Amino acid sequence: MLLMSAVKKERVEFRATHEAKLSIEEAAALSGKTVSSFVHDLVTEKAKEIINERKRLLVSESQWESLMDALESPTKPTKLMDEVISLSMEDKPWTVTLNNAM
């Protein structure tokens, strides 16, 4: 079985202070990686984290409108919700029994 890996054709360069370069080289060596591999792995992982976090925070216009509609026009409380609210106002322990239809 032949394993195919992506061929790295693109080049990324950046400037660093002498101290930063030494730290990167030391960390790469301690990790058993080349500097290139070390930097590539860390930067790629961080880039994916940032992209995924940003995507999680984005909502479409229709999703936003649905949320705003729900907040502006809440549904009426159900009987169970009224019971829970009423019980929560009391100063004694309370329980709610749910009737589950099976």
Q: What does the pLDDT read at residue 92?
A: 77
- Structural contact between residues 98 and 80, judged by C-beta atoms closer than 8 angstroms: yes
Banded pLDDT at 38 (limits 50, 70, 90) = very high
Instruction: Report d(CA 94, CA 38) in Å as an integer.
Output: 57
Whether the per-residue pLDDT at 14 is higher than 80: the answer is yes
Delimit the domains of the chain by residue range: 17-85
Its pTM stands at 0.53
| Between residues 30 and 76, the one the model is more confident about | 30
**Mean of the per-residue pLDDT values for the chain?**
87
Instruction: Report d(CA 21, CA 74) in Å as an integer.
Output: 57
Q: Over pLDDT 70: what percentage of the chain?
A: 90
CA nearest 96: which of 79, 88, 84?
Answer: 84
CA nearest 87: which of 98, 76, 96, 78?
Answer: 96
- Structural contact between residues 95 and 84, judged by C-beta atoms closer than 8 angstroms: no
Whether the per-residue pLDDT at 59 is higher than 90: the answer is no
- What are the pLDDT digits (tens) for 62-89? 998 999 999 999 888 899 988 888 888 8
Q: Is the dihedral of CA 34, 35, 36, 42 positive or negative?
A: positive
